[in-house]
Amino acid sequence: MVEYKSPHREYEFILREVLDIENELGKYPEYDEASWDMIQMISQQFGEIGEEYWLPSARDGDEVGVIFKDGKVTVPESMKEATRMVIDSGLTQLFGHQKYGGMEFPNVLSVYSDEISCATNMSLGIYMGLTKGAYHCIHNYGTEEIKDTYLPKFLSGEWFGTMCLTEAHCGTDLGLIRTSAKPNGDTYSINGQKIFISCGEHDMADNIVHLVLAKLPDAPKGVKGISLFLVPKYNVNSDGTLGERNGVNCVSIEEKMGVHGSATCVMSFENAKGYLIGEVNEGLAAMFSMMNTERIAVGLQGLGQAEIAYQNGLAYAKERIQGRDLKEPRNPNEEADPLIVHPDVRRMLMRSKALIDSGRMLACWTALAIDKSEKDPDEKIRKEANDLVELMTPIIKALLTDYGVEITSDMLQIYGGHGYIKEYGMEQFCRDVRIAPIWEGTNGIQALDLAGRKMPQSMGRLLRRFFHPALDFIEKHKEDEEMKEFVIPFSKALKGLQKTTLYMAQKGLSNPYEIGAAATDYLRQFGLVAMAYMWLLMLKVAFSKRDKSDYYENKIILARFFYERILPETLSRAIAIGSGSKTMMSLPDDGFDSISKFTGEA
């Protein structure tokens, strides 16, 4: 009963009308073929495959799931067919480099395709997303021989990739890993066990290429002693054909709350042949090139699940007849009015739509910066664009996944009791998306990354990449009569964020608890201000075209809702940050307990 239509009009508005990517990216020779007609054609193809193949397979992925037997994982046949449709259409080659058989299309289009994938079948999107991340990591840090061997196979869809970080005794604290790497000629013998390895084993590819964190015998302690290794499921012969099975095995898979179509594996490495990626003891930096790609992709999981939940919640609100309009009957000849007449239902729908629209804009705006950081001939522009991407990555990951959980929950609420049962498909969205705030670094870790690392980095250099263009926008449009309604409250919110940033910088110098206690509130405050800025960029276009279509007038109304009902949360977040860490850290550990004996005292 779940339905989905790809949001083509929304991306046309953002990419073509607001970001003007035809002119912004047309100056880069590598993107010569990325005309709007080509982007439109490819996006339409993605959308059709998503709607016709990926969406139906999502039900099988949830109800049948992956099956583990004798060390092998079997994926539902409908998911395999959905994957083949993408591979056969050549879409796996879209974002790869031409040298390895790719089409080298812009990252802004990757946002488009990733959202559709994550909306229609989040489990299946994980397989493809991890492979894309592995591709970029190997491209950035692998030797020419390794790149020539593995990258074309990723793009052809013959081989898939994974990342292997976590071990049973340590989660995010990677300095504690015990997986070892012993030199063996030109290769390394890898031994150890990794847990929570998404897509670590499956039957959708001829080979699975693992990127594994491990330590050499003489490695320094902690994260400074981590190296990164490429460990294939099947070793590869010198002519590129598959050789003997490597010492890599799936020991078990996890029984999970959601994304049942994605195998979460315990992987064992026993004298597995591995190849060094990057430099010795610098594996974490190499892995982060993949993790940053994955963090933005996980943010798009939150966005995609929010969008499909919203589409279905909206359809139900329009169709379901229940209760009467509080002023007068909307359908006087019927027994009741549709749910959408009720203010609280409209509140949930408008909040969801306002967050989805600005979240999508934020992701595309950041992806455009990725393209500039990679392709612009001016080193200064590349550096500044990369700074912006570094700053926005934890915000996109945490903000979009937190809101994904909130929006899917609200859309289920619109269904009432029908949303709680499997028949309508809404409860799957809630179960699937709940992992997104957890993996690739929990959202608490993302907040600490923003507040503890990105904020003070290079005396606030990264922050300037956001604050400066935002302040310039205010200066240019402060007298604009149409924009004033939004520019004035945005200016106040931006000043509030600047004050909070200064407060945290000062307090954090003397007490690191202040940063830890404020981090999550700070990320939300920063994220909301960033979304408000995205609305300003969209409003500039909407006001100029409001007479052409109701579409633009509706954007203005949604922006007004965001500014009236959502942006004010920045005030409460700032107040919470200002309360400091004293109370939070003063409760003794035993004070958290709720179970105790009766004292007998009266």
Cβ atoms 227, 214 nearer than 8 A: yes
CB 471 within 8 A of CB 487: no
Question: Encoding tokens for residue 405?
Answer: 């959980």
* Alpha-carbon span 85 to 93, nearest angstrom: 13
Contacts of 122 by beta carbon, 8 Å cutoff, 6+ apart: 58, 259, 262, 301, 304, 305, 432, 433
DSSP state of 42: H
Cβ-based neighbour number of residue 284 at 10 Å: 19
Look at residue 41 and give its three-state secondary structure.
helix
Give the integer Cα–Cα distance in Å for 522 and 577.
Answer: 7
**Other Cβ atoms within 10 Å of 161 Cβ, number:** 29
Instruction: Annotate 200-235 with DSSP letters as a single string.
Output: SS-SSSSEEEEEEEEE-TTPPSGGGGEEEEEEESEE
Closest CA to 135 of 96, 91, 83: 96
At 334, list the tokens. 């019927």
CA gap 488, 494 in Å, rounded? 10
What mean pLDDT comes out for the span 153-169? 94
Q: How confident is the model at residue 327 (pLDDT cuts 50, 70, 90)?
A: confident
Asked if 178 and 206 touch (Cβ cutoff 8 Å), the reply is no
Inform me whether the pLDDT recorded for 171 exceeds 70. no
Per-residue pLDDT tens over the stretch 555-600: 999 999 999 999 999 999 999 999 999 999 999 998 999 877 777 7
May I ask the CATH architecture of the domain 288-583?
Answer: Up-down Bundle (1.20)
Give the pLDDT mean for 333-361: 96
CB 199 within 8 A of CB 178: no
What pLDDT, on the 0 to 100 scale, is given for residue 331? 82
Pick the residue with more confidence: 385 or 292?
A: 385
Is 551's pLDDT higher than 80?
A: yes
Alpha-carbon distances of 273 from 2, 13, 180, 201, rounded to whole Å:
45, 49, 12, 17
> What's the mean pLDDT in 426-438?
97
| pLDDT beyond 70 at 456 | yes
Coil vs helix vs strand at 167: strand
User: What is the domain partition of the chain in residue ranges?
Assistant: 288-583
H or E element in which residue 310 lies: helix 283-319
**Average pLDDT of the chain, as a whole number:** 94
Q: Is the pLDDT of residue 127 over 90?
A: yes
182 - beta bridge partners?
189
Tokens of 76: 């539902």
Cα–Cα distance measured from residue 598 to residue 602, given in angstroms and rounded to the nearest whole number: 10
The structure tokens listed for 367 are 């992806």
Q: What integer is the mean pLDDT of 25-46?
A: 90
Judge whether residue 291 has pLDDT over 80.
Answer: no
Which pair of tokens denotes residue 126?
């994980």
Beta carbons within 8 Å of 233's beta carbon, 6+ residues apart:
201, 207, 208, 209, 210, 245, 246, 248
The Cα 239–Cα 58 span in angstroms is 38
The structure tokens 């339905």 sit at: 3
CA–CA gap between residue 131 and residue 275 (Å, rounded): 18
Among the listed residues 82, 441, 430, the one whose alpha carbon sits nearest the alpha carbon of residue 296 = 441
pLDDT at 597: 74
Asked if residue 232 has pLDDT above 70, the reply is yes
pLDDT tens for each residue of 203-224: 999 999 999 999 999 999 888 9
Specify the pLDDT at position 33: 82
Give the burial string for 566-577 (b: 16+ CB within 10 Å, else e). Answer: bbeebeebbebb
Confidence of residue 440 (pLDDT cuts 50, 70, 90): confident
Q: Please, what is the angle between helix 426-433 and helix 379-415, to 10°?
A: 140
Question: What residues contact residue 388 under an 8 Å CB cut-off, 6+ apart?
Answer: 366, 369, 462, 465, 466
Helix (H) or strand (E) holding 343: helix 343-375
Q: Is 505:456 a contact under the CB 8 Å cutoff?
A: yes
In whole angstroms, give the CA distance from residue 507 to residue 310.
41
Helix (H) or strand (E) holding 244: strand 242-245
Active-site annotation, residues: 440
3-state secondary structure of 160: strand
- Concatenating the DSSP letter of every residue in 395-445 gives HHHHHHHHHHHHHHHHHHHHHGGGGGSGGGSHHHHHHHHTTTTTSSS-HHH
Query: Residue 179: what pLDDT?
Result: 95
DSSP 128-147: HHHHHHHHHHHHHHS-HHHH
The torsion angles phi and psi of 581, rounded to 5 degrees, stand at -105, -5
Which DSSP symbol is given to 599?
-
**CB-CB neighbours of 313 under 10 Å:** 26
Q: CB-hemisphere CA count at 13 Å for 447?
A: 20
pLDDT category at 141 given cuts 50, 70, 90 is very high
DSSP per residue over 563-593, as a string?
IIIITTHHHHHHHHHHT-SHHHHHS-GGGG-
For 557, other C-beta atoms within 10 Å of its C-beta total 13
Give Cα 431 distance to the centre of its chain: 16
Amino acid identity of residue 556, one-letter, is I
DSSP 83: H
pLDDT of residue 509: 81
- Widest Cα–Cα separation across the chain: 83
| Region 288-301 average pLDDT | 85
CA angle 281, 285, 287 (to 5 degrees): 100
Q: What percent of the chain has pLDDT over 70?
A: 99
Predicted pLDDT at 602 = 67
Q: What is the mean pLDDT of residues 364-393?
A: 95
pLDDT at 516 over 90: yes
